[in-house]
Amino acid sequence: MTYTTQMDAAKKGILTKEMETVARKENMEAAVLMDLVAKGRIAIPANKNHKSLDAEGVGEGLRTKINVNLGISKDCRCVDTELDKVRKAIEMKAEAIMDLSSFGKTEEFRRRLVEMSSAMIGTVPMYDAVGFYDKELSEISPEEFLKVVEKHAVDGVDFMTIHAGINRETAGIFKRNSRLTNIVSRGGSLLYAWMELTGNENPFYEYYDELLDICRKYDVTISLGDAYRPGSIADSTDASQIKELIVLGELTKRAWEKDVQVIVEGPGHMSLNEVAANMQLQKKLCHGAPFYVLGPIVTDIAPGYDHITSAIGGAIAAANGADFLCYVTPAEHLRLPNLDDMKEGIIASRIAAHAADIAKGVPGAREWDNSMSKARAELDWEKMFDLSLDPEKARRYRAESKPAHEDSCTMCGKMCAVRNMNRIMDGKNINILREDD
């Protein structure tokens, strides 16, 4: 029996090799996984042309995944520098990499990225359109926008952010309800500008069926972008954001009718007390589709530390139903991230994802922590390093400040509670001021 997409296969009861891979990684029964893929509650982004992919699932009952943003810009256009980031991101076990290149002919970087990456690859075709055609924004036709989407699909991109929910109707809501930071989504702002300049409907909304046909042909997962995501905590959960979310829910059902997998994107900047409710709103309005969040960034005052503000929001979001976290680096709002920024962002996001997985009861999550706790109780430093999210940093910190006694550290020395409890429990003496007997 043949199939077109992972969702089509699941509806027909066909267990694909990608489903087998995800079921094994997640310790989930293949039949359960297949049922959730068929219902749209799990997506397995896996373009037919991405041959190096090691498939991952995003959605209900699975580990929370993280995405790393990369790509060239007009001010930072070195492809080799970005490819170094790709290698490091894969080494650090990021499940997804998004190419957000926004300058010139991006095809070289995108093709090399897909060829070398075992992680799923995402793009935002809207960013590429101006450089692809070498035209000003208002001169690009709806047909040309769709051709860029197909180009990315042919190149092997697994999921694409498509801002289809920003249309003439939602633009009216935005105009009638003022915001502190207007539209901060790059793709969303470009489409809003295109609609204003041309007087036409958003081509990704008007020609959504044609877009779905492209995605079905190559099995591209649509990541429905949130053009009206709040860019400040003042704008969160407002009329524009919620109205767009309602439209995204409608577009989700239309995609599923054509067997196209969907991920829905969410906020954005948002105060802590609103995060859980927003996750519940998304799951309800978008029919349980996987939810992909940027942050949320829970305070606006920490440039240089937004990997931390994002990790706080991301942990709460994922614990309350978000399935996919887009990393945020210390460079957010300031510059294109360098390699060190990227590493900090990955670690912060992985901490948030894992903390949420513990809260959600994801199989195996708590066992990792229990193993670390056992290693600490035994003062087994090498095992602690091996179990660390960042073994390199843990080893370096230990090496930089060596204690006089190996069964302690330079913070507590022989007053170490773990060391002393181990000795007492073994019936040994504790000598704080003198050498041990």
Does the annotation list 200 as a binding residue? no
Does the annotation list 398 as a binding residue? no
Does the annotation list 333 as a binding residue? yes
Does the annotation list 269 as a binding residue? yes
Does the annotation list 69 as a binding residue? yes
Does the annotation list 292 as a binding residue? yes
Burial class (CB in 10 A: 0-12, 13-18, 19+), 351: middle
Phi, psi of 42 (to 5 degrees): -130, 135
Does the annotation list 118 as a binding residue? no
In this structure, are residues 100 and 337 in contact, taking their beta carbons and an 8 Å threshold? Answer: no
Does the annotation list 98 as a binding residue? yes
Does the annotation list 307 as a binding residue? no
In this structure, are residues 352 and 318 in contact, taking their beta carbons and an 8 Å threshold? Answer: yes
Does the annotation list 227 as a binding residue? yes
400-437 as b/e, with b when 16 or more CB fall inside 10 Å? eeeeeeebbbeeeebebeebbeebeeeeeeeeeeeeee
Q: Which residues pair with 292 in a beta bridge?
A: 265, 324
Angstrom distance (rounded) from CA 64 to CA 325: 7
Does the annotation list 412 as a binding residue? yes
Does the annotation list 226 as a binding residue? yes
Measure Cα distances from 382 to 377, 397, 407, 423 in Å.
13, 13, 12, 20
Report the Cα–Cα distance between both ends of the chain, in Å, rounded: 74
Instruction: State whether the Cα torsion 340-343-347-350 is positive or negative.
Output: positive
Angstrom distance (rounded) from CA 105 to CA 390: 35
Does the annotation list 265 as a binding residue? yes
Does the annotation list 409 as a binding residue? yes
Annotated binding site for substrate: 69, 98, 127, 163, 185-187, 226-229, 265, 292
Annotated binding site for [4Fe-4S] cluster: 409, 412, 416
Annotated binding site: 69, 98, 127, 163, 185-187, 226-229, 265, 269, 292, 333, 409, 412, 416
Annotated binding site for Zn(2+): 269, 333
